[in-house]
Amino acid sequence: MKQLLHLRGFYSIALLAAALAGCSKSGSTAKEATLPELNRALVAWSTMNSGPPPTEVSGLTNSPALRGKRLPTAPAGKKFVIDPVRGAVVLVDR
């Protein structure tokens, strides 16, 4: 009987973990990050790493500043890039 209760607890925990895993930030309900949030993520990345910043904005997706957010959709004809001279995320023409 004790083993059965232990097994039932294990399955309850496994079920909860699976449910939480289904609520990941990559789902369509995640809010889009804003341009200021992208720039905060770039500053955080630069503070935590000694090398050059990522060349693609997608390199910032693991930043704690973007937790629970997804990369924004750029307006038509534009794209988000990291400007190495300014050290900022900017919108440029495609």
Mean predicted confidence (pLDDT) in 10-24: 43
What residues make up the domain containing 53?
27-93
Mean predicted confidence (pLDDT) in 58-68: 87
* Res 50 pLDDT > 90: no
Q: What band does 90 get if pLDDT is binned at 50, 70 and 90?
A: very high
Residue 56 located in a structural domain: yes
Residue 20 located in a structural domain: no
User: What would the two tokens of residue 76 be?
Assistant: 């038509």
Q: Which residue has the higher pLDDT, 29 or 56?
A: 56
Cβ-based burial of 6 (10 A; exposed 0-12, middle 13-18, buried ≥19): exposed
Q: What band does 28 get if pLDDT is binned at 50, 70 and 90?
A: low
- Per the structure, how many domains does the chain have? 1
Q: What band does 56 get if pLDDT is binned at 50, 70 and 90?
A: confident
Residue 49 located in a structural domain: yes
The predicted structure's pLDDT at residue 62: 84
